Amino acid sequence: MRLYVARHGETEWNRLNKVCGRTDSPLTDTGLRQAQLLADKLDDCPIDVIIASPLSRAQKTAQAVAQRKHLQVVTDDRLIEQDYGVYEGVPRDDEDFLNNKRMFAYRYPGGESMMDIARRTYDLIIETKKRDPDSSVLFVCHNGICRVICSYFRDMTNEEYFEFSQDNCGYNVYEF
């Protein structure tokens, strides 16, 4: 199986540099253009299945690719972004947020830990591999989920994991 992992296009909260987990911040005009560019980039890639987060920013990004590929988008809640709890909407450079982000087993007050999202995301990867072993699958999700997926395929130091960031509508390809 080949797994393509794309992050959604730019949202207003991305542009404002706010922590955005479960808030359904819509794509900006730039984000909509990025989604079309992602569809262009993936045009020659043999994608058989598209699975996306339920949040509209991921759904609209996935739809741009799906229309080009003549595929349906399957929604899976396990691809939803991390619940940042009390840090939702704070500036991304907030000192408390960054300190807590370094503690992977720490559950944000009112939210999830990185271990929580790793469990659900790893389960989805394993399930998808079993269900679609000979397919090329595209996950359209969020930066935090992209980070977790990268850690499934590649050993990362704590610092590499903390520093990992995927551009809006950037994608990576992983092979089983």
What pLDDT does 104 receive? 87
Task: Pull the structure tokens for residue 88.
Answer: 């939702």
Residue 65 in contact with residue 47, Cβ under 8 Å? Answer: yes
In angstroms, the first-to-last Cα distance of the chain is: 6
Q: What tens digit of pLDDT does each residue of 15-30 get?
A: 999 999 999 999 999 9
Provide the CATH number for the domain formed by 2-175 in this structure: 3.40.50.1240
Structure confidence at residue 4 (pLDDT):
98
The secondary structure of 98-162 as a DSSP string is HHHHT-TTPPPTTS--HHHHHHHHHHHHHHHHHH-TTSEEEEEE-HHHHHHHHHHHS---HHHHH
Map out the domains of the chain as residue ranges.
2-175
Q: Which residue has the tokens 């949202």?
A: 11
Interval 145-151 mean pLDDT: 98
Show which residues are catalytic.
8, 81
Residue 15's pLDDT is what?
96
Q: For residue range 67-122, what is the model confidence (pLDDT) as tens digits?
A: 999 999 999 999 999 999 999 999 999 999 999 999 989 999 999 999 999 999 99
The pLDDT-based confidence of 46 (bands split at 50, 70, 90) is very high
Mean pLDDT over the full length of the chain? 97
Span 125-135, pLDDT tens digits = 999 999 999 99
pTM to 2 decimals? 0.96
